[in-house]
Chain A
Amino acid sequence: MSVTSDVVWSEQGTTPDAIEAALRELLVQRHAENGNFVPARVLNMIAFVDREWSGEIANRLRGVGRYHASRLLVLSYEPGRERLDARVMIASEGEPEPGELALLRETVVVEIGDRHLDDLLTIADPLVVTDLPTLLWSPHGHEGIVEVLLALSQAVLLDSVEEPLAREALDRACTLTEQAYVVDLAWLRSTPWRERLAAAFDPASLRPELREITAVAVRHHQASTAAALLLAGWLASRLDWQVGPLAADGDALAGSVHAGAQDVALRLEAAPELSVPGLESVTLETASGLRVGLRRGTGGLRANWRDHEGVEREWTIPGASRGEAGVLGEGIRQALLRDPTYVPALMAARGMLP
């Protein structure tokens, strides 16, 4: 089933009650049309967006495919707007085959203005499904609004590389972790890197090398310093390193952290050639001469390995790029999970800010 079919309701000058009634009515209609239409009940997502950029956000959300939240509430904000308008869409991916079910996903777009901000909770609350977890996303900032809507949310989605300054990004993430589970897209982009570094040291014979790391170098997109700090923070928190502020060195951050028996030299450097957010390469060296390197490659990460005798090997670890839509989809999925390693990594990353 790939063709999407929608039923739509819209009203100008509407109320949350009317919108909620329309949702119920559309569900009844769809079910009457075909008893095999079933509403998904997984996750609410509230997206607070600036109306002028709402098209771009809609495109990004369309790209997440099956990771679409089961109910998406878009609060589209337009300064100066007086009237509350709304559109409700209930979509399914085609008609159900006999004996099979077709899931329904609900999207509610509410157009709001300044005068609605004070009572935003009373608009949003009736429009999320009770007892489902709710993920909050405010891609255009609006920290004050986020504070308000956190009352309805258990998880908040952010992207630490979208803040212009790494310090602001990490501070903001830290503040939010005190109130909700934070899903950070900058963290999720680094998952394949973390998986492969974990795998490199997984053989029992190599695990002691983790205590012998002497140097870590990370190259990253120019605007992704926060992502590089999070990766370094992950290593530091997992390996119990005592971190301190790094120093600016041109386009790079450099310094050392204390790792028990030895210091670890850290260098986080911008890679001007990288055109997408995230990391370009990671290299770890140990006191015994082992070097483990990963860098972006075609069809997966390219591994570079130098053993204790100095013999070098290179190979590709297959893996398809998820693209930014895939990363966003993964972010939505992660709202239902819990990664206990993010907050310690974030704290360590903050400790390394110059």
Chain B
Amino acid sequence: MAAPTTEQDNPLTAGLERQPVAPTTLVIFGATGDLARRKLLPALYNLAHDGALPERFHMVGVSRKHKEDAEFRTECEDAIRRFSRRKPDEDVLAGLLANVKYVGGTFDDDAVYSKLSTLLDGCDEQAGEPLNRAFYLSTAPSFFPVIVGELGNSKLARHEGADVRVIIEKPFGTTLEEARELNRCVLAIFEEPQVFRIDHYLGKETVQNMLAFRFANGMFEPLWNRNYIDSVQITAAEELGIGSRADYYDSAGALRDLIQNHMLQLLCHVAMEPPVSFTAEEVRNEKVKVLQSIPQPTPADIPEMAVRAQYSAGHAGGEDVPGYLQEEGVPEGSITETYAALRLEVDNWRWAGVPFYLRTGKRLARKITEIAVTLKPVPHLAFSQDGSLGVQPNQLVLTLQPNEGVSLRLGAKIPGTRMIIRPVNMEFLYGTAFLSQSPEAYERLITDAMRGDATLFTRNDEVEAQWQICDPIVGTWARTPGPLPQYEAGSQGPEEAGGLLREGDRWRAI
């Protein structure tokens, strides 16, 4: 029988896969932008389809152009039909859109917040209770402080009898100082538990699986340290170029776009100590410790531990493709890197002396995101000289995309009369072992934010610790004139990346 009902427990939630989400009004700033159209609105529809939205749910879009609710609803409908992972159910779609409203105006206009406040009060009145409020900042980063400040001025950062949360998209600053300033600005208005900084990589099942892989399997933990692990390589390679994102990409570059956030998060998942529990604070405490163990590079270190490059014309997917500097919208003589590789050290008891190699780039040979953990070689080989030639250190590879899985490279005897060894792979593919399809990262993250669960979001000190590692590199590179080393589109990346590797190490083939 169930435990007696108390005010703390809801006995009806036991056994349910989906836990209740409190009634919420979600306000999306930048609601007509690309992210909202491609990701957020389809995610909301899919949550509605699955019956996973809160009991009472309203959405308010805020954007610069003035338009009527009906016009905005039509735009939402078009975006959902185009980008949803499943064909919309007409009745569900109509039900979702019926609770969508719009406020037009610039983000620094007090009138926008006044109208928004009235609308939000109306939602509460309709529901007969104060609804939680979640403000999703899906705008250019320059508007983040403006919107947060206006929310504070309009007294929208608190709501009697309900929770208010703010969800902030990446990039969270483009330098350490900007990140600190943004944190100061946000935390002057909101308390840290109200702030949800999105790194959508953390919403991917694959990234969460890494924690399950490490902490739910006893066989790896004894090996997971400097005594057995020789090096760690984290790769996020893309086959595609920058497409139509020249404006954004040229101001960001590969380091800011992927390494400062996603790839450092992956590194944290590899290197962190087991948290006491999987609560938001405990998990994030452990990640911050890892980031703080990575020495901040000095300008003198940077040529030895960081490489940047740009892609030149080449071939991808059987087509001739232009180089970065020939892409539409890229400024002449741009020194923005489309490839970045780092060698980092995690100076703590577990990892001292183990190099962590990170690399990311556009227009590489293929799309892959993986973490390769190379173990130290065996201390002695008893096989003949010929037989030993194929012996390679064990390598554990966690692939995040395109095929989520784990493979372990082992040495095995080639069938025959002689003892000759060659490497073979023992592979496990997640897709072959589960019936469920992974939900989109944004579906998970939006739900978690509405529930107030910050485990998969980045905390203020985490963001600053990430920037402490990347900021000196960003600054040094910005001060160093071009041209940048080039690598041919469709290749493995620049030769210069080899210079980061310790003797005997090599980059895995992309």
With an 8 A cutoff between CB atoms, is B402 at the interface? yes
- Any B CB within 8 A of the CB of A18: no
The 8 A CB mask of A219-255 against B (1 = contact, 0 = none) is 0000000000000000101111000000000000000
B50, B432, B437: most-surrounded residue (chain A CB, <10 A): B432
Interface residues of A in 280-319 (CB under 8 A from B): 298-301, 303, 305, 307, 311, 313, 315-319
**Residue of chain B at shortest CB distance from A305:** B128
Report how far A202 CA is from B451 CA in the complex, Å: 12
- Asked if A32 is at the interface (CB within 8 A of a chain B CB), the reply is no
The reply to whether the CB of B435 lies closer than 8 angstroms to some CB of chain A is yes
List the A side residues contacting B93 at CB < 8 Å. Answer: 299
The binding surface of chain A is classed by DSSP as mixed
Please tell me if B481 contacts chain A, counting CB pairs below 8 Å. Answer: no
Given contacts A211-B5, A299-B94, whether A318 and B21 have CB atoms under 8 Å apart is no
Residues A317 and B435 in contact, CB atoms below 8 Å apart: no
**Residue contact A240 to B7, C-beta cutoff 8 Å:** no
Please give, as numbers and ranges, the residues of chain B lying within 8 Å of A298 by CB-CB distance. 91
Knowing A315-B56, A320-B92 touch, does A99 contact B49 (C-beta < 8 A)? no
In the docked arrangement, what's the CA distance between A192 and B48, Å?
12
Q: Is the CB of B1 within 8 A of A240?
A: yes
A193-208 CB contact bits vs B (8 Å, 1 = yes)? 0111111111110011
Cβ contact within 8 Å between A66 and B91: no
Q: Does A341 contact B (CB under 8 A)?
A: yes
Q: Are the CB atoms of B432 and A38 closer together than 8 Å?
A: yes
Known: A100-B402, A210-B11, A237-B2. A199 touches B20 (CB 8 A): yes
A311 touches B2 (CB 8 A): no
- Collect the chain A residues with CB atoms within 8 Å of residue B402's CB: 99-100
Q: Which listed segment binds B: A138-146, A160-168, A267-275, A332-340?
A: A332-340
Tell me whether A318 and B95 are in contact (CB under 8 A).
Answer: yes
Is A342 on the interface with B (CB-CB < 8 A)?
yes
Contact between B4 and A240, CB atoms less than 8 A apart? yes
| Residues on the B chain within 8 Å of A278, using CB | none
Query: In the docked arrangement, what's the CA distance between A316 and B18, Å?
Result: 19
**How far is it, in angstroms, between the C-alpha of A307 and the C-alpha of B127 when the chains are bound?**
11
Distance between B237 CB and nearest chain A CB, rounded to angstroms: 12
Identify A333's interface contact among B2, B5, B435, CB under 8 A: B435
Q: Which of A39-47, A72-80, A151-159 contacts B (4 or more CB under 8 A)?
A: A39-47
* Interfacial chain A residues near B431, Cβ < 8 Å: 38, 40, 101, 103
CA A32 to CA B429, docked complex, whole Å: 19
Q: Which residues of B contact A103 (CB under 8 A)?
A: 431-432
Beyond A317-B55, A318-B92, whether A202 also contacts B432 by CB under 8 A is no
Is B436 interfacial (CB 8 A cutoff)?
yes
A222 shortest CB reach to chain B, Å:
25
Q: In the assembly, what is the distance between CA of A322 and CA of B435, in Å?
A: 17
Give Cα A239 to B1, complex, Å: 8
* A113 lies within 8 A of chain B by Cβ: no
Q: Decide: B12 and A238 in contact? CB cutoff 8 A.
A: yes
Number of A residues, CB within 8 Å of B: 60
Residues from chain A with Cβ under 8 Å of B8 in the complex: 204
Q: Looking at the assembled complex, report how far the CB atom of A224 sits from the nearest CB atom of chain B, in whole angstroms.
A: 20
In the assembled complex, B16 has its CB within 8 A of some CB on chain A: yes
Given A240-B2, A299-B92, A315-B56, A210 and B14 contact (CB-CB distance below 8 Å): no
**What is the minimal beta-carbon distance from B123 to any residue of chain A, in angstroms?**
11
Residues of B within 8 A of A67 (CB): 435
Asked if residues A318 and B53 are in contact (CB atoms below 8 Å), the reply is yes
Given contact pairs A202-B20, A238-B14, A38 touches B429 in the complex (Cβ within 8 A): yes
Q: Given A42-B434, A101-B431, A210-B5, answer yes or no on A192-B51 (Cβ-Cβ < 8 Å).
A: yes
Q: Counting CB contacts under 8 A, is B403 at the interface?
A: yes
A317 to B21, CA, bound (A): 12
Q: Is A208 within 8 A of B5, CB to CB? A: yes
CB distance B1 to A204 under 8 Å?
Answer: no
B379 at the interface (CB under 8 A from A): no
Known contacts A238-B14, A340-B15; A199 and B432 CB within 8 A of each other = no
By beta carbon, the residue of chain B nearest A96 is B403
The contact of A208 among B2, B7, B22, B435, by CB within 8 Å, is B7
Docked Cα-Cα span, A101 to B403, in Å, equals 7
Cα–Cα distance between A248 and B434 once the two chains are bound (Å): 45
Could you tell me if A199 and B55 are in contact, using CB atoms closer than 8 angstroms?
Answer: yes
Query: Residue of A at shortest CB range from B57?
Result: A318
- Known A317-B51, A319-B51; judge A202-B429 contact (CB<8 A): no
Whether B55 and A303, one on each chain, are in contact in the complex, defined by CB atoms closer than 8 angstroms, is yes
Q: In this complex, what residue of A is CB-closest to B53?
A: A318
Q: Known: A42-B433, A42-B434. Is A340-B128 also a contact (CB below 8 A)? A: no
Residue B54 at the chain A interface, CB threshold 8 Å: yes
Question: How many Å from the CB of A283 to the closest CB on chain B?
Answer: 16
A59 CA to B53 CA in the complex, in Å?
32
Q: How many whole Å from A104's CB to the nearest CB in chain B?
A: 9
Interface residues of A in 16-56 (CB under 8 A from B): 38-43
Inter-chain contact A320/B7, CB cutoff 8 Å? no
Pairwise interchain contact B12-A194, C-beta atoms closer than 8 A: yes
Q: How far is the CA of A174 from the CA of B83 in the complex (A)?
A: 45
Q: Which of B54, B55, B403 has the most CB of A within 10 A?
A: B55
Tell me the nearest residue of chain A to B47, going by C-beta.
A318
Contacts of B9 in A (CB 8 A): 207
Interface presence of B142 (CB below 8 A) = no
CB distance from B206 to the nearest CB of A (A): 14
Q: Assuming the A-B contacts A99-B366, A299-B95, are A320 and B11 also in contact, with contact meaning beta carbons closer than 8 angstroms in the complex?
A: no
* Contact in complex: A300, B13 (CB < 8 Å): no
A344 proximal to B (CB < 8 A): yes
Known contacts A66-B437, A332-B435; is-contact A194 B16 (Cβ 8 Å):
yes
Q: In whole angstroms, what is the CA distance A321 to B402 when docked?
A: 31
Question: Which of A101, A319, A344 contacts B92, CB < 8 Å?
Answer: A319
Expressed in whole angstroms, the minimum distance between the Cβ of A129 and any Cβ of chain B is 12
Tell me if A204 and B7 are in contact (CB < 8 A).
Answer: yes
For the complex formed, measure the closest distance between the CB of A237 and the CB atoms of chain B, giving whole angstroms: 6
B5 surroundings in chain A (CB, below 8 A): 207-208, 210-211, 239-240
Whole-angstrom distance between the Cβ of A174 and the nearest chain B Cβ: 17
Q: For window 389-436 of chain B, which residues contact chain A by CB distance below 8 Å?
A: 402-403, 429, 431-436
Interface string of B110-135 (1 = CB under 8 A from A): 00000000000000001110000000
Closest to A299 in B: B91
Nearest-Cβ distance from residue A15 to partner chain B, whole angstroms: 28
Interface assignment of B10: CB less than 8 Å from any CB of chain A: yes
B12 x A336 contact (CB < 8 A): no
A128 to B366, CA, bound (A): 38
Residues in A with CB closer than 8 Å to B54 are: 199
Centre residue among B9, B54, B95, B98 by max chain A CB count within 10 A: B95
Partner of A198, one of B12, B90, B95, B432: B12
* A-B contacts, 28 listed (Cβ < 8 Å): A38-B429, A42-B434, A42-B435, A70-B432, A99-B367, A99-B403, A100-B403, A101-B429, A103-B432, A194-B12, A196-B51, A200-B55, A202-B13, A202-B20, A202-B22, A203-B22, A207-B5, A238-B2, A238-B11, A239-B2, A300-B48, A301-B51, A305-B128, A317-B53, A319-B48, A320-B49, A320-B51, A340-B15
Q: 9 new A-B pairs (CB below 8 Å) besides A307-B128, A315-B127? A: A100-B402, A202-B20, A208-B7, A210-B5, A238-B12, A239-B2, A298-B91, A319-B92, A320-B51
Q: Across chains A and B, which 3 residue pairs bring their CB atoms closest together, nearest first?
A: A299-B91, A319-B51, A341-B15
User: Which B residues form the contact surface with A (CB < 8 A)?
Assistant: 1-2, 4-18, 20-22, 48-51, 53-57, 89-96, 98, 126-128, 366-367, 402-403, 429, 431-437
Binding site for B on A (CB under 8 A): 38-43, 66-67, 70, 99-101, 103, 191-192, 194-204, 207-208, 210-211, 235, 237-240, 298-301, 303, 305, 307, 311, 313, 315-321, 332-333, 336-337, 339-342, 344
